[in-house]
Structure 1
């Protein structure tokens, strides 16, 4: 396996600190450093996890490629086995790039409750898989704010019939892929750090906030908690993975590639939240299918979504 990971020692790593300095928010971020303390899954965290039906995991496949994939199940599929151990009674769907997850690797998990706009971030090590379950030794677990989470009520949907719609693997976005990205109001992003391991995070905005220009995707970086976990990881390693889900149809688009943070875009078209920051992503591999066994019939936009300041480009 690639990307060995040590035990996190707490506090921000060098990439996060560098982005915080450039953004001028070191003092604001320092107030949140205690959130990175060793995990404690008791109390409210246990209750939150017990009721959830959707999560996304960032990990590497057997070839070392980084992907972010959905994990779904009925309430109770995320079970706290100890204050630092989480059992996930589910695997990525058949055809998913992480269906056969190698053990003993760092993983990041983001657990989202769209109906109440709550999310929990979990980082640790996949210690083993047993049958249809994963066991994660958790190093960190902390909540993120409800910003930019669209309100949805997810319900189970029939699993795609075997062979009804084959999973497509490739390197180039089709027009259907581009349409899915441009219509998306939500995606999940996975990043990595050579010592701290893998991380999964949520991004949301109005439909069209992810732009497609030629073979590249980009999106404006909105104001957040100033910790810059995702951007700090990209500062040290550009490897990234994106997951787009169409919650109306169950279509999914997994992208694995490289990303970078650009600065100095203040007041330019696309600087929707006025930060001057945008992330550019170049996909290198993709997996597309109908791999999400959940649906939502309606969506209510997050009240803090910034309005678009340009129109999506036409390739």
Structure 2
């Protein structure tokens, strides 16, 4: 019986990235439908990471949240999300039927994560449905363990900016231990649909190195799929999202990425195999935009 594994799951950019990195994975259980363990995982989550394209095809990254159960899977090829981006979130206007979407479900308490990529089937005032084209798990490395709980916040004004970052954004980047990156495989001859993807990046505070509007992001050893770096070889436009788990402030960035395949690009980060730079073009700081807070350990 087929378990819906895709026989050739990697596009040309991912294959090129695997070659440049010295080899890909020994196996790749990437499926055209969600297995039961993925379908039962998403409803446990209090938030969901989302990648959508803007009107120019530039990825946007955002976070949706709700009570556990706000994400559900009525069928192996379908996810329903009973939430929408908040007011002032640039991603809200980009959700439309037929558009590509990338989803990442991640449980920061257990470090478990699963990805689903596909297209938006329907959007209404309550949420959206997604037709899943790819479903796969990820390794739990580099996830900073957190326990989250719902909290009532009063969202503040959205601060939009260009390449010059406000000080609050600089501070968030300096203290970041958890961020998410949205990338696209781009449009190519013979492929009308561009695939969207969103993945996790994490490390100790300071793992992101900032110089002006350029961030250097270390690339640590992982599953060797190279979904993110493979996308960047085809489409360098990308997006980041990170959150202050105390204040609920959410930072969303769009920029242009470039991969340094030589390990020297990672600087003095001994754990990194390589690095990539992200040149910020624009961004939004959404005060109190994330409705979860981190619970502090007792004792």
TM-score higher than 0.5: yes
Taking the TM superposition and a 5 Å limit, the aligned residue runs for 1:1-315 are 10-26=8-24, 29=25, 31-33=26-28, 35-41=29-35, 43-62=36-55, 64-100=57-93, 101-161=95-155, 165-171=156-162, 172-194=164-186, 195=191, 196-266=194-264, 269-275=267-273, 277-290=274-287, 291-298=289-296
| Superposed CA offset, 1:221-266 (max 9, x none) | 1000111000000011101000011111101110011111112233
Task: Give CA-to-partner distance per residue, 1:50-103, whole Å, 9 cap, x none.
Answer: 111111100023454421000111111111021101100000111111123232
| Structure 2 residues without counterparts, runs of 5 or longer | 1-5
Give the Å deviation of 1:269: 3.1
Contact preservation (8 Å) 1:10, 1:36 = no
SS of match in other structure, 2:264: coil
Question: How much has 1:297 moved relative to structure 2?
Answer: 3.0
Q: TM-score, normalised by structure 2?
A: 0.90
CA gap of 1:15–1:107, structure 2 versus 1, over 3 A, is same
- Separation of aligned partners in 2, 1:63 and 1:236: 15
Q: Contact 2:58/2:238 (CA < 8 Å) preserved in 1? A: no
For residues 61 and 274 of structure 1, the distance between their equivalents in structure 2, rounded to whole angstroms, comes to 31
CA distance in 2, matches of 1:257, 1:125: 23
For structure 1, which segment, 58-67 or 80-89, has the greater mean C-alpha deviation from structure 2 after superposition? 58-67
SS in 1 for 2:239: strand
Structure 1 stretches of 5 or more lacking a match?
A: 1-7, 300-315
Q: Residues 263 and 229 (structure 1 numbering): CA distance in 2 closer, same or farther, change over 3 Å?
A: same
Deviation at residue 106 of structure 1 after TM alignment = 0.7
Query: How many correspondences in the alignment?
Result: 284
SS in 1 for 2:205: coil
Matched residue of 2:282: which SS?
strand
Q: What's the TM-score once normalised by structure 1's chain length? A: 0.85
Contact 1:191 1:230 in 2 (8 A): yes
